[in-house]
Structure 1
Amino acid sequence: MVRRTKEDAMETRSKLLDAAEALFSEKGVTHTSMMHVAEKAGVTRGAIYHHFENKMDLIESLMGRVKLPIDEMREQIADGTVSDPLTEIQERSKGFIARIESNPQVRSLASILLHKCEYIDEVNPIKLRHVSGRNECIDDFEKLFEEAVKKEQLSATVTPRAAVIGLFSLVDGLIYNWLLAPDYFPLVEYGNTAIENYLNGLPRQP
């Protein structure tokens, strides 16, 4: 009986998160209330507040159930030394856009963060978390570019910080525009080509 009750609670929580994801994607974060989410999930006001203290708690839980590509990349980079940093940079960047295109939950969350999340006081903690994760990932990629210069895969004239900012701007721009109209161009196909062209265009050691 206790196990069934626990399973029911987890099922209700999952329904609420699914409803929040759908509504945030459709209406935006600030235009979606806790009651909207409860109604979408088919539960009572008491049920949603049993699982989530407020909208921020709901959003944090929504973000917590999906590992964003940027977090996954940081974990993989932190695993240890890299023998071929330039290839590592390329593969991690391609893996990032591949997860956006292939995983519906990751794609939905990315769309919410980039297009449906108005960064005002109510949801400012989301912005801070997003920016913090991005900056940490930039720092990690900068180290990979530094290694590429040290191993003479890239010219000593390459500034690692500038190189990673350029790469992130390219990838962010691809994802932002693809999410606006996913049928307009194939993200992985065009994205992989753009990433390769960018990295191949960086000065090499003479």
Structure 2
Amino acid sequence: MVRRTKEQAEATREQLLDAAEALFCNTGVASTTLDLIARAAGVTRGAVYWHFKNKAEIFEAVCDRATSPMGTMLDTLANDPGDDPLGALERQAGDILILVATDARIRSVLEILFRGFDGGPEFAEYLAREEQNKRQCRCQIQSILEVAVARNQLPPHVKPADAAVAVTAFVGGLMHDWVIDQDYDLANMARWLTKIFFNGLRHG
């Protein structure tokens, strides 16, 4: 019985997140209310408060379940860059771009974030954490590139910190460009695009 209750609670939570994601994407974050989320999910407002304290917490959960796979991928590589750190980073950059192009949930959340986020003051804490996460991501990439320098995979004059800025701008820029326009086949072009970029890094 306890297990069933736990499973039911998790199912309700997912219903709420699905409903919120669709509303955030179609209606906008500012125009989406807790009442709208509850009605779209087919639950009471009390059920919303059972799982989340406010709209900002729901928004964060919606974003996290879409973007956490990408964060996990980078965490794994940063912890163990392996014998070919630059090659591994190139493959992972391609993997992330393909994931963005083929995963509807990730694409939906990125659309919410990229098409003019219209939250408000209640989202200030979340946005500050996101800025911190971006800095951490760049630091992780820098640590991978430092190993690449140690293995002579980058020219001596290339600074890992500068290269990390370039990598994050390259991947983030492509994600933003494709999510906004979707006028080219990112899934099929991802490997070729990353190859061109990382060949440029390798030859300085």
Q: TM-score range by the shorter chain?
A: 0.7 to 0.9
> What CA distance in whole angstroms lies between the structure 2 residues aligned with 1:113 and 1:151?
37
2:196 corresponds in structure 1 to 197
2:89 corresponds in structure 1 to 89
Equivalent residues in 2 for 1:134-149 (5 A)?
A: 134-149=134-149
SS at match of 1:31: coil
1:72 corresponds in structure 2 to 72
> What CA distance in whole angstroms lies between the structure 2 residues aligned with 1:107 and 1:128?
22
Q: Deviations over 1:151-178 (max 9, x none)?
A: 1111101121111211211111111121
Which stretches in structure 1 are left out of the alignment for 5+ residues? none
With normalisation by structure 2, the TM-score equals: 0.87
1:121 corresponds in structure 2 to 121
> What CA distance in whole angstroms lies between the structure 2 residues aligned with 1:81 and 1:201?
20
> What CA distance in whole angstroms lies between the structure 1 residues aligned with 2:202 and 2:49?
56
1:44 corresponds in structure 2 to 44
> What CA distance in whole angstroms lies between the structure 1 residues aligned with 2:4 and 2:148?
54
1:35 corresponds in structure 2 to 35
Which stretches in structure 2 are left out of the alignment for 5+ residues? none
2:141–2:164: 8 Å Cα contact kept in structure 1?
A: yes
SS at match of 1:68: helix
1:174–1:191: 8 Å Cα contact kept in structure 2?
A: no
> What CA distance in whole angstroms lies between the structure 2 residues aligned with 1:64 and 1:168?
19
Q: Is the alpha carbon distance of 1:83 and 1:6 closer, same or farther for their aligned partners in structure 2, counting shifts above 3 Å?
A: closer
Q: Is the alpha carbon distance of 1:64 and 1:106 closer, same or farther for their aligned partners in structure 2, counting shifts above 3 Å?
A: same
> What CA distance in whole angstroms lies between the structure 2 residues aligned with 1:89 and 1:72?
14
Figure out how many residues of one structure are paired with residues of the other and give that number.
Answer: 204
Q: Is the alpha carbon distance of 1:2 and 1:154 closer, same or farther for their aligned partners in structure 2, counting shifts above 3 Å?
A: closer
Q: Deviations over 1:109-139 (max 9, x none)?
A: 2222333533642212221222222211111
Paired letter, 2:166: G
Paired letter, 1:194: L
Cα RMSD (Å): 2.2
1:185 corresponds in structure 2 to 184
2:86–2:153: 8 Å Cα contact kept in structure 1?
A: yes
The Cα shift of 1:204 comes to 3.4
The Cα shift of 1:8 comes to 3.5
> What CA distance in whole angstroms lies between the structure 2 residues aligned with 1:3 and 1:199?
48
More helix by share: 2
Q: Extract structure 1 runs of 4+ deviating beyond 6 A.
A: none
1:70–1:137: 8 Å Cα contact kept in structure 2?
A: no
> What CA distance in whole angstroms lies between the structure 2 residues aligned with 1:86 and 1:11?
41
Q: Deviations over 1:24-45 (max 9, x none)?
A: 1112222211111112112222
With normalisation by structure 1, the TM-score equals: 0.87
Paired letter, 1:170: F
2:29–2:119: 8 Å Cα contact kept in structure 1?
A: no
